[in-house]
Structures are given as C-alpha cells and as structure tokens.
Amino acid sequence: MKKSLLTLALGSAFAIPAHAQSSVTLYGLIDTGLIYASNQQGHNSWQETSSATQNTVFGLKGTEDLGAGLKAVFKLEQGFLLNNGTQAFSGDGFGSQAWVGLESDRYGTVTLGRQYDVMNDLVGPLTAEVNTWGGSLAAHPFENDNLAANSVVIDNMVKYVSPIYHGLTVESMYAFSNKAGAFATNRSYGFAASYAMGPLNLAAGYLQFNNAGAGTGAAPTSDYSANFLAERQRVWSVAGSYTFGSALVGVAWSHTQMDNLGGVFSFGTGTYLGAADDASGSLNGSLRMDNFEINGKYGLTEAWSVSGAYTFTDGAYNGSSPKWHTGMLQTAYALSKRTDVYLESVYQIVHGAPEGSVLSHAMINTLGPSSSNSQLAVMVGLRHAF
C-alpha cells in the first residue's frame, strides 16, 4: 500500500499538464552532401557541405486551443551546419525562427518575433529557390530579392496573415529597429498576397529595408541577416505556376533597387565583400537588378523527379549594365516519404559589371565568390525530414 501511494505521489509530482486540443511537435530537416565548385576565390574545391538546397534545422512548434476558434501558436527553430555542428546564424539561439502569436479561424494570425518575411512566405514557394527541387543553390545573384530558401530572417517583426478566402491569402509585416531616437534606421516592412485555386497559383509582394546592416535592428550583419548594406533596399515581385498531371511550370519576376549601396554580404562565406570602385574599396551609388525566371518540374515516377530553372538578371550600376545568367538542373529520388537523394548542378556567368567590383565575380548562393565571371557547382546530396 505504501509503495502504491509513493508511486502515485511521484507520478503526480512529475506529471505535465496536457490539453486534448493542444500539442507541441519536435521537427527538423537535414540536408547534406558533397559539392564541387569550379572556382571559389580562385581555387577549385571539393567540400562536404550542409544546407546547400534546404536549411538544416531542428525546432519546436506548438498550439494551444483557447476556445471560440482562437489558438495560441509558437515556433522555435535553430539552423545549423551538419558538417561541423555550428550555428547557421552566428550567435543566435533560435536563428531560423523564434515567434509566438494568436491564430483566429475568422480573423487570421498575428505573430511577433524573429520570422521570415512576407515575400519569402508567399512568392518564394512559386520559384525554384524555395522548393526542394531547386533550393538555395538556385538563388538569384547575391540572393538580391529574398526569394531563396529562408536564408534571410528578420528580427523584431510583427506579422499578420489573413485567413484563406476563396483561395486568396494576404500578409503584412513591420519589423522595428528597436533603437531609441532612430526609429527608421534598420527597419523593414512589406506586404504580399497569393491566390491558389486548383492547378493555378499566383503571388505578388513588396518588401523594403531601411539601412539594413546598420548595427542591431531588423536586419543585422552579425548573424548574416543582411545581404546588402544600403540606405534603402526595395523589392517588388510577381510569380505564378501551373500544375498539369505530373508536370509543373512556373515564371517569376522580381525587381530590386538598392540606394546608396555600401557593399554586399556573402551568406555563403560569412565575409563582407568589398570592391574597387573608389579609394575606400567599397561600393557606392545605386544598384538595380531585375530577375526573370522560368522553372519547371516533372515526376518521371512517384519517386523520381527532374527539375530545372533559368534566371536572367538585368542590372544597372553607376552607368554600367551587369547581366547574370544562372541555370539549374536537378534530379531527385525519394527513398521514402521523408528521405531522398539528389544530384544538382548550377552554373552562373556575369558580363558587363565594373571590372574589379564584387559585381563582376560570379557567386552561386551558399558558396564563396568566384575570382572570375563564371562559377559551376555540382552537388550530390541526402535529405531527411523528421
């Protein structure tokens, strides 16, 4: 009897309160493999790498039913590099995502914290850059439009996501600088909308950064959240896709305008890239980049797929007209519902950029920059979701 009472007491002491309509889920994705690059800072290379197509992450997400169609929701997600175990976002405990909010069936969802922007949420999924059949390697030059696979995460954000109404979803966001006396320095805001009905998907959005990289704020450089150091960065984008049978085809356009550009920050190497435009060795002036993408995927069988994308990027910088051509091919085979292997190749070449500036060097996303105007990457990889 005493033993039974002791067991009951211990069980009660360590019991965790639970609700039938509440849940906490541990999840993750691992992407790793071997990659060959024809030129990284002047040298051919073979590397074991992580997160070349999709972010390698683990996280916790949960909901609590508050009644009357209202839920509390949260997500804590950490990105890491599998090959050495280091953080993908240096110094951040939950660098990929860290937010909490309220979700209403009728009125939509409001979340607060470190999150992906509205452009990445709604427009990115209609491009090759976000999807597993392309991913980060296929990003547009310098990831200039934030459409790649979750490479830029924004701090201090309040985001609103509407309910789906006849296929239409609307998002808006504002990310605070959190600086006393400098409200507009290193802040960000944007809005986007998507429409999905049957095989047709459409999306469009706008995103703006003010003084990204200026110390702490919405997009600091300390954890690689800022790709460009500029007084102002504005991005417009439109994308669409259509599915018929086992095939999907899509198109996308984005326009990125950087005013008073100070430099380019390479997420792949974590190194600030200077330039030779003036005596200070840094970029100056304004940079405009228009990205035109066509993409497609075809399922040869339920397990085996092939995909490809081509992006032409037309630029303008201080009287010059740099132009980038980026092509991607991938084939993937699913070993199970959660595990697949893939072979992907990306080639980029640039012409017309100012000689000696960082714009004249090809740089496939996640890799170090080439010392020339071209770069080729070939990767064989393994992905596992849990």
The pLDDT value given to residue 152? 82
Q: Is residue 87 part of a domain?
A: yes
Displacement of CA 266 from its chain's centroid (Å): 14
Whose tokens are 């490479």? That residue is 151
Residue 150 maps to a domain: yes
> Which of these, 381, 359, 384, lies nearest to 370 by C-alpha position?
359
Q: Taking residues 246-261, what's their average pLDDT?
A: 95
Residue 243 maps to a domain: yes
End-to-end CA distance of the chain: 43
Q: Are 254 and 145 in contact (CB under 8 A)?
A: yes
Alpha-carbon span 73 to 322, nearest angstrom: 45
Number of Cα atoms under 13 Å in the Cβ half of residue 269: 15
State the CATH number of the domain containing residue 308.
2.40.160.10
Give mean pLDDT, residues 293-297.
Answer: 98
In Å, how far are 34, 58, 263, 365 from 385, measured between CA atoms?
19, 10, 36, 22
- Residue range of the domain that includes 190: 24-385
Highest mean pLDDT among 49-53, 341-345, 369-373: 341-345
Dihedrals φ, ψ of 167, to 5°? 90, -5
Whether residue 106 is contained in a domain is answered as: yes
pLDDT in tens, 196-219: 999 999 999 999 999 887 778 888
Report whether pLDDT(103) > 80: yes
CA separation for the pair 168, 159 (Å, rounded): 17
Domain for residue 14, yes or no?
Answer: no
- H or E stretch at 112: strand 108-115
Point out the least confidently predicted range of 6-15, 97-106, 189-198, 236-245.
Answer: 6-15
The pTM is what?
0.89
Rounded to the nearest 5°, which phi and psi values hold at 320?
A: -95, 165
Determine the distance from the C-alpha atom of residue 91 to the mean position of all C-alpha atoms in its chain, rounded to a whole number. 18
CA distances, 379 to each of 150, 303, 332 (Å): 20, 19, 12
The three-state (H, E, C) secondary structure of 304-368, written as one string: EEEEEEEEEEEEEECCECCEEEEEEEEEEEECCCCEEEEEEEEEEEEECCCCCCHHHCCCCCCCC
Among the listed residues 147, 84, 119, 93, the one whose alpha carbon sits nearest the alpha carbon of residue 365 = 147
Question: Coil, strand or helix: which one is 55?
Answer: coil
- Asked whether residue 16 is domain-assigned, the answer is no
Residue 87: the pLDDT is 87
Please indicate, yes or no, if residue 294 is contained in any of the structural domains.
yes
Contacts of 243 (CB under 8 A, 6+ apart): 199
Confirm whether 4 is domain-assigned.
no
Say yes or no to pLDDT of 49 above 70: yes
What is the number of domains present in the chain? 1
Distance (Å) of CA 93 to CA 69, 78, 114: 32, 7, 11
pLDDT of residue 50: 92
DSSP result, 267-309: TTTTEEE--SSSTTSS--S-EEEEEEEEEEEEESSSSEEEEEE
Distances in Å between the Cα of 18 and the Cα atoms of 24, 64, 146, 249 are 10, 10, 39, 45
Q: What percent of the chain has pLDDT over 90?
A: 69
Q: What is the pLDDT of residue 218?
A: 87
